[in-house]
Structure 1
Amino acid sequence: MVDVVVVGAGFAGLTAARALRKAGRSVVVLEADNRVGGRTKPATLAGERIDIGGQWVGPTQTHLLALAAHYGVTTEQQYDFGDNVIDICGRKARYKGETPGLAPADLEEFGGIVAKLDSLAGEIEMPRPWLAPSAAEWDAQTVESWIRANTTGEPTREMLRGVTRAVFSCEANEISFLFYLAYIASAGSLEALIGTRGGAQDKLFTGSVWQIAAKMADELGDAVVLGSPVSRIEQDKDGVTVTAPNGTWRAKRIIVTAPPAMAARIDYSPPLSARRDGLSQRMPMGCVIKVAVAYKTAFWREQGYSGLVVSDRTEFGPWFDRGTTLTKGGALVGFFDGGPAQRWADRSAEERRARVLDDIALYFGDAARSPVDYVEEVWTLSEHHRGGYVAVPGPGVLTGFGSALIEPVGRIHWAGTETADAWVGYIDGAIRSGERVAADVSALV
């Protein structure tokens, strides 16, 4: 018998296992996939290793930055020189910096709404947004219904819908407004979520962020068992029995780091609490496809563009310059998010590639149609993830079932970025959750 079994070798699981071992506890990590990293994943684009999952880090994501420093992984500034492009409601504009190039009246309304959202989010104490004074009111609304009730200009509405897709990988009519505010609270501000310089997209990791997970796994050695999808967890008075196709393990406690919808695929004996089971049925993953395209040169830079395009005319997007200030090559990275991802996930890779190149060419010209390499990851169809970036609750879920995100069920403890007290949905949040649950479990075994 080991002290703890950890289900999942993403950043949450690896962090928890590392902390438990440091505290002198014996641990086994069972990972369903044939690799570590969870919602981070490496890929090769034009001979260079890139991240085809999570990739960026912001200045307040201090737990991820500390882990990177520990393993000697460096960061580079996200390329953001030149003009960004915004094309919303038939108005196309080039602009610099973080302030979107909307018409003056629309910019004023959008700025006011951003300030209002930050103010409302300030009433939330993470990680328990359902305890906020206005939680019931906010959780009774979708983001779309709140947008319609609090804005008048269609450009502002489209901007907020686009932000929802880009940040949550879902449509505004699918997500609880309380969760939207909780996400803002966990990041500190809406600008921190959507910003490049100084925001969540501030820097890239040299050689990929995934390598940090790989280094943690190497440190844990044989304690990490790949290709081990847990199918059953049985609790008794002495411990837990954990079953996977390739073996059975006994432990005093177990930590499950999978998001609720994926954790629900495990058979539990005795059954989970009604509240936890209800949560699992009501918190699906967002829908996302990530794409990276390499070119012989960064021709958009020569045209004075930064590479960032935000548009309501395209299915693909937003997209960014994949290079950094230190990179001479040409590459763009972007997403099908929410509705577009749902529409394109079941299409062929060739059809998706053609659509991506057409959308890029709409803004950067025909040179976009001649890439030297193309890589994609359809996260929505990934067997062990079924989407990203985060699990998304609809109205009524957090106030009705939210406490089950963190509350243990007997000897079963929960972690993962969805349970974080800061930077929910991000790698940093996953690390924080792993640290928190390791401390909780260490006190019990």
Structure 2
Amino acid sequence: MAPHTATEALGTTPDRPATWALRATFATAAALLTTATVLAPPAAAAPAAGKLPYSDQCAFPNGDYPGRPWSLQRVLLDELWSRSKGKGVRVAVIDTGVDVKNPQLARAVDVKAGRNLLPKNLKDEDGDPIERGNENGTTDTVGHGTKVAGIIAARPLDGTGFVGLAPEATIIPIQQNDAEGHGDTKSLAKAIRYAIQAGAGVINISQDTSNALKPSSDLEKAIDEALARKIVVVASAGNDGLGGNIKETYPASYEGVLAVAASDRNNERASFSQSGEFVGVAAPGVDMISTVPQGGHCSDNGTSFSAPYVAGVAALLKARHPDWTAREIVAQIEQTAERTIAGHDRLVGWGVVDPVRALTEDDRPIESPRPEGGLGKAEAPSPAKFQIGETPDERNTRLATYVTVGAAVLVAGLTGTAVAIRDARKRSRRLAGAGAE
């Protein structure tokens, strides 16, 4: 099989069936091309000289993002983590690998459980060898999988406000794709089955098939096997939504998979985010800060980074309710999402995920969201009544004033009377004394 360039990996390739080609769901093809051709792999990058300043130009390594990203500012983290931090939950990240050289991921990743499923002896279009990476999936020359993992479970670090939503969950790194698009639906199905064996409670897939074609049934069977084991499967909806484009993407469109669209700071669908009836919820996907290989952070856009935001919430729920089924976890996330209309919306699904609400309104499991359940019903203001004379409030205020003034006068009167009586008694005693003399 001939090697594929980064451009070919984004669409149908002449020597590979269209249903087999997978792509990482970057915001644009140019983003992937830039990452593949400009960013040096970790082994070739120069070591950092001291602490690097944060740069908007993504490089590996980069400086630490100093503030709290907007996607986390919308969450009351203390309240969220008082309920769960995801401890004991294993999240499989099926992606381009997870670089554990980033200090926020070093303790978050189960290195021994990782796996590299890329073909061996990879070569580019010129016949030159391509770095395949470590066998445990901890090499990431693209940076995509490292960003995904950070959004889920990055540990706190002094000097940055960025942290994963589930900072005590454990990442299982499964390297299944790369910048050249060597991942296919066969290897994805294999990766899902490996995640099951590795004890995953949640599986994140930030990829979709080229041209939104439905792949072979084996991938769907692998998804069903995961769901049968109560594993929550979260997948990105895709980034072909410009111009209102609507089409199903896979594996996001499979029954039981929680498909995640991207939202912006206004809780509206990001312009690039895929729409459709298959969308379950939306989550922040614009200007997403996360970890990059070798250390530091970068910003990126795409439903690729909305999916792990939801996978992090799923991990929190999984830790809090280990007996809940995958369907119940998904329904809870959908039910508690923020929405402005009753029912499902093809743009943002059941709404924009609300992590705190998902963890606090969880008294009992549900199988499916209720159309009216998460709708915020703001009451319209009552029209002002035309009032002749004083209003009830004004009358109450007037009476209160009378009572206050009357009480003051009464106190003053009583005080004055007491003084007069005292003075009269003194005079009487003086007169009585004078008469005795």
- The one of the two structures with greater contact order (alpha-carbon pairs below 8 A, sep at least 6) is 1
TM-score normalised by L of structure 1:
0.23
TM-score normalised by L of structure 2:
0.24
Between structures 1 and 2, the one with greater helix share: 1
